[in-house]
A and B are shown apart, each in its own frame.
Chain A
Amino acid sequence: AQSVTQLGSHVSVSEGALVLLRCNYSSSVPPYLFWYVQYPNQGLQLLLKYTSAATLVKGINGFEAEFKKSETSFHLTKPSAHMSDAAEYFCAVSKNSGNTPLVFGKGTRLSVIA
């Protein structure tokens, strides 16, 4: 079985500060890992995904994440937060890159303070 744990249901950062959203996974098979962003009353937008290639994955909007097998982690970072980054972020795991349903973490709400 696969599962995802997101540490911190709410993270608050100042504009321009580093963003760090934590995600740990559990998987009995090599995982495919994803980060999605959700704005209020909208669907999910893919930020980035890990599919067993490079361990450091760069995504859209300046976000990146590093896959660390030894730590079973896939934390999301952004060097400098922008007001428009305020949203809900979901980490997800799957058995492959697209054909199987995703197992989502509970989400982390990011607030950016001016």
Chain B
Amino acid sequence: GAVVSQHPSWVICKSGTSVKIECRSLDFQATTMFWYRQFPKQSLMLMATSNEGSKATYEQGVEKDKFLINHASLTLSTLTVTSAHPEDSSFYICSAPRPMTSGGADEQFFGPGTRLTVL
């Protein structure tokens, strides 16, 4: 089946530093990827839609200058948490729709997630 990877799987950083999280589609090309955030014991909330070759689309309430998204290739999207603070500690999960030859996408595949802890 299709595979989406994330790196790193967990990261601990000091307050004020920046952290980059990578999301890769390993065996298909994804012009779109989605970034979700999951706080402990809560559901996944969409943060932004990453679009290859263009600017990301952010959900209401998500600071685009704090959560920088770069979709530089058809298989890689990165999320950079800038000047991280303890309240940014969360589980970040990406997903990528697998395109169909007939157009559209048949399914989204989720990465394993990245656990960010900001001290």
Contacts and interface: CB of A to CB of B under 8 A. Distances in A.
Contacts of A99: 32, 97, 104-105
B106 interface: yes
B92 to A, nearest CB: 11
A97 B115 contact: no
Contact of B104 (A41, A97, A101, A104): A97
Contact of B106 (A97, A101, A103, A105): A97
6 contacts: A41-B113, A45-B110, A97-B105, A99-B104, A101-B36, A102-B108
Q: Report whether over half of chain B's contact residues are helix, strand or loop; otherwise say mixed.
A: strand
Nearest to A105: B43
Q: Could you say which interface size class chain A belongs to?
A: 20 to 34
Interface of B: 6, 32, 34, 36, 42-46, 49, 91, 93, 95, 97-98, 104-108, 110-113, 115
Nearest to B93: A43
